[in-house]
Amino acid sequence: MTVSNYLLLTPGPLTTSNTVKKAMLFDSCTWDDDYNLDVVQSIRQQLVSLATTQTGYSSVLLQGSGSYAVEAVLGGAIGSQDKILIISNGAYGARMVEMAQRMGLQHTVYACDEVMLPDIEKIEQRLQQDSQITHIAMVHCETTTGILNPIEKVARLALRYHKCYIVDAMSSFGGIPMDIAALNIDFLISSANKCIQGVPGFAFVIARTEELEKCEGRSRSLSLDLHAQWRCMEDFQGKWRFTSPTHTVLAFAQALQELAQEGGIAARYQRYQRNQLKLVAGMKALGFNTLLEDALHSPIITAFYSPKTTDYQFKTFYLRLKSQGFVIYPGKVSQRDCFRIGNIGEVYENDITALLIAIENAIDWENKDEK
């Protein structure tokens, strides 16, 4: 069976509304004031407003996926005399470590098992033992497993020990309430195609203005120069240094309107929570076990152990669900056989109900040849 439009149950790209898709049907000029002043600048202001009610913060948009923005922040925020502590319990924390290695940044790593929360006492010990550490970086929602990391507790350490705090909130910003001023976050990084429910094409950084100013001249890259991109947008009223992803930006502007119409981040968080709770309850009823304990789950994505039946293959399972209109994610954890199902995007409880019926059909292994 061929399905013309799939429900994407992934951590992004994700299913978007028809109105977000339609917003991309308009062609914009990157030099036009209607685009830069009315669209780009409005987006930048709205992002800061979503992040905090406090002053002293700004935002900068950057072409590319979320990883581009993470690399831009690390390359701009970490000076030659600085040293960063990277907290890692999954693939995206490990990606930050690789970026630091590639750029030759002074860094140290606190790593723990993918199914465990970082140990706050051990992190504090690192800070006490290594006075050269100037920055701390961690992932909020580590979609490797779906775990939600304790950014609040690490924020308190960053404040106590006077460290610059960088948070990869790629899969959580817009879907989980937070105040970056209250959390003492200096750089928050996210992407257009996550919880704000836009489409892929650019990422963004919301940062303390004084920290952005310190990034001048530090970048190891021309195109990923965070300070230069920020200054261009500041000085030229929303202008991008290089070709802007105009259609993606228009879709994002529409997505921000729809976030407000839904009731803001708090309302979206509640919807995502309902989706995730319904998904887990339904999967357990079908005999699936979650990788994480319930207390560690985020409302973004959930990892499930693969069935132990001898004839299970993820590819077959994936294709059977796809034929019914649902796309899920393979596992990303290194030592455990899992798959993942996201519930963010334009996804509602009735979609989860339909998915569970599709999964029940897909796991009917004994009768698979008759179907």
Instruction: Please write the tens of the pLDDT for every residue from 131-174.
Output: 999 999 999 999 999 999 999 999 999 999 999 999 999 999 99
Q: Is the alpha carbon torsion for 213, 218, 220, 222 positive or negative?
A: positive
pLDDT at site 331: 82
Side chain identity, residue 135: H
Report the pLDDT value the prediction gives residue 2, as an integer from 0 to 100.
53
Residues with pLDDT less than 50, the chain: 1, 366-367, 369-371
Cβ(15)–Cβ(348) under 8 Å?
A: no
Q: Is 83 helix (H, G, I), strand (E, B) or coil?
A: coil
Enter the tokens of residue 10: 């992934």
Confidence (pLDDT) at 12: 84
Which pTM was predicted? 0.95
Q: Are 175 and 194 in contact (CB under 8 A)?
A: yes
Instruction: Give the pLDDT of residue 368.
Output: 52
pLDDT at 1: 46
Provide the pLDDT for residue 243. Answer: 95
pLDDT score of 4: 64
